[in-house]
Amino acid sequence: MKNKKKFGGLLKFLAVGLMLWLVLRFVIGGSEDDWICEHGQWIKHGQPSAPKPEIDCRRD
């Protein structure tokens, strides 16, 4: 009986951890589909809905 309580507690802990990770990843983390500036060039990451930015992304 004691092992079932430990197992149930572990499952609850893992479920809460998974839900927290999902919230952080998808709600706070933002979209994966975006334009990223790498080495002075705009690189498509995923399938962005917006066109490539017109501004220069090179650093001085």
- Domain-wise residue ranges, the chain: 2-45
Give the side-chain half-sphere CA count within 13 A for 6: 3
Alpha helices in 1-60 (DSSP H): 2-22
Question: Taking the model in full, what pTM does it have?
Answer: 0.48
Question: pLDDT, tens digit, for every residue of 1-55?
Answer: 678 888 889 999 999 999 999 888 777 766 678 899 999 999 998 899 999 999 9
Q: How far apart are CA 9 and CA 19, in angstroms?
A: 15
Q: How far apart are CA 42 and CA 54, in angstroms?
A: 9
Longest dimension (CA), the chain: 66
pLDDT of res. 31: 66
